[in-house]
Amino acid sequence: MKQDMILILDLGSEENARLAREIRAMGVYTEIHPHDITAVELAALPGVKGIVLNGGPNRVVDGVSIDAGAAVYESGLPVLAVNHPGHGGLAAWSENAAEREAQIREFVFDTCHAEKNWNMENFIADQIELVRRQVGDRKVLLALSGGVDSSVVAALLIKAIGKQLTCVHVNHGLLRKGEPEQVVQVFRDEMDANLIYVDAVDRFLDKLAGVADPEQKRKIIGAEFIRVFEEQARKLEGIEFLAQGTIYPDIIESGTKTVKAVKSHHNVGGLPEDLNFELVEPLKMLFKDEVRACGVALGLPDSMVYRQPFPGPGLGVRCLGAITRERLEAVRESDAILREEFAAAGLEGKVWQYFTVVPYFKSVGVHDNARTFDWPVILRAVNTVDAMTATVEDVPFALLQKITARITAEVKGVNRVLYDLTPKPTGTIEWE
């Protein structure tokens, strides 16, 4: 490993992740570890130059105050205690941004003498080496959605182990226009990966036929995905590893007391035990913006690396109620027009998330002097910082009119366009 590291020990502070990002932004690598790290574990971490004990009110659990073990205080490494009474250090990080930065810099550079050697090039070189060491000449399987995380894992592993990696992309019919094609083009054609493309559209849509309940729809999509992926995995011989796009927030977001509670929501969970894979998770120490930077450094297209968040069940939750192929096409086509027009208007990357929804009722319209009875398309465009609350984008009226004209002219079965003006709360971002 080529990097110096500042270790942040988790005493329950909610701002560990923020601090870790701030230090990384200064060019020094950080990791967050549980407060009860042992001397052996500590010695096994490469390049540690100093330790921050980030305290705060949460370090008292059930009346008992958590503290780091003797290993930390006896390590001989510089230790900065913050908001951790009885241990000196700082009473608190400053509220003032410039002062806070100065406090961090003083510890990282003046006290610990850490070097600024955290960058994507070093990270990628290190991960390639680690993956090669872990995998040897054996084989790895990856479920590749075309989303940011699994795409970056794929690009990294192709670099590290080439054809020892097999990627499986499942087209369940609920992806956006052009996405399955882009996965094939980028990974099979341009990066020469072993890519298995599974056309499971009929399977998914048949299973979903007549199912109107949103929760039920999500469950069916999730369960069917596991089934399809498992079938593919069983057909392949000699695979010992499963690669996953686990990222750092997946690991630390639940860690108020300790980071040991690794969340499994990101995993291709639910695979039968007898498949018995060992995991390869090369992005598990990266924050989302670092994952994107890694993707760019590996040569992935911007449209893949900067794509807006997309729900796991895909367009299935935007084709309201029981999914039909016709309405699903109306969602896909109208979504493509919305994305095209937002990009042309310079809103791509500025608006957090925007998409279209097609409900299951129809309304009367007129086209070429004839009566129509077709669906409406609902446009949604929102901004949010944390997805807990969201505001509605103030889209220029002329742009809304242009999008309306295109959708009603180009999308089959649609005769009306509506704009959703509801912030969150009271409306959620997605409709289902």
Ligand X SMILES: Nc1ncnc2c1ncn2[C@@H]1O[C@H](COP(=O)(O)OP(=O)(O)OP(=O)(O)O)[C@@H](O)[C@H]1O
Nearer to ligand X, 22 or 149 (CB): 149
Least distance to ligand X, CB of residue 380, Å: 19
User: For residue 378, which amino acid is it?
Assistant: I
Least distance to ligand X, CB of residue 245, Å: 4
Tell me the three state secondary structure of residue 193: coil
Residue selected from 84, 169, 327, 339 as contacting ligand X according to rule CB under 6 A: 169
- 131 vs 167, 244, 266, 282, 312, CA distance in Å? 16, 13, 20, 7, 27
Nearer to ligand X, 303 or 372 (CB): 303
145 is in an annotated binding site: yes
Q: Number of residues interacting with ligand X: please give it, by CB under 6 A.
A: 15
Q: What share of the chain is helix, strand, coil (3-state, %, to 5)?
A: 40, 20, 40
233 binds ligand X (CB under 6 A): no
178 binds ligand X (CB under 6 A): no
Nearer to ligand X, 149 or 341 (CB): 149
Least distance to ligand X, CB of residue 169, Å: 5
149 binds ligand X (CB under 6 A): yes
Q: Residue 34, Cβ neighbours under 10 Å: how many? A: 19
303 is in an annotated binding site: no
Residue selected from 24, 172, 332, 380 as contacting ligand X according to rule CB under 6 A: 172
Q: Residue 391, Cβ neighbours under 10 Å: how many? A: 12
Least distance to ligand X, CB of residue 290, Å: 14
Q: Which of residues 129-148 bind ligand X (CB under 6 A)?
A: 143-145, 147-148
CB 298 within 8 A of CB 152: yes
420 is in an annotated binding site: no
- Which residue in this structure is represented by tokens 């069917």? 224
Nearer to ligand X, 83 or 145 (CB): 145
Least distance to ligand X, CB of residue 68, Å: 32
CB 135 within 8 A of CB 242: no
User: For residue 299, which amino acid is it?
Assistant: G
**Residue, CB closest to ligand X:** 147
Residue selected from 3, 16, 150, 353 as contacting ligand X according to rule CB under 6 A: 150
94 is in an annotated binding site: no
* Pairwise CA distance, residues 418 & 325, whole Å: 21
Nearer to ligand X, 51 or 170 (CB): 170
Nearer to ligand X, 129 or 278 (CB): 278
* Pairwise CA distance, residues 219 & 226, whole Å: 11
Give the length of the chain: 432
Least distance to ligand X, CB of residue 311, Å: 7
Helix (H) / strand (E) element for 376: namely strand 370-383
Nearer to ligand X, 160 or 268 (CB): 268
Which structure tokens are listed for 418? 């509506």
Q: Which of residues 305-334 bind ligand X (CB under 6 A)?
A: 312
Nearer to ligand X, 27 or 214 (CB): 214
170 binds ligand X (CB under 6 A): yes
Closest CA to 204 of 228, 182, 183: 228
- 307 vs 201, 212, 243, 421, CA distance in Å? 23, 28, 21, 23
Q: Residue 19, Cβ neighbours under 10 Å: how many? A: 20
150 is in an annotated binding site: yes
126 is in an annotated binding site: no
Nearer to ligand X, 281 or 348 (CB): 281
156 binds ligand X (CB under 6 A): no
Longest dimension (CA), the chain: 85
149 is in an annotated binding site: yes
* Pairwise CA distance, residues 211 & 291, whole Å: 36
268 binds ligand X (CB under 6 A): yes
251 binds ligand X (CB under 6 A): no
Tell me the three state secondary structure of residue 169: strand
Bridge partner list, 424: 390
Closest CA to 9 of 65, 51, 46, 57: 51
Least distance to ligand X, CB of residue 395, Å: 26
Q: Which residues are annotated as a binding site for ATP?
A: 145-151
Residues binding ligand X (CB under 6 A): 143-145, 147-150, 168-170, 172, 245, 266, 268, 312
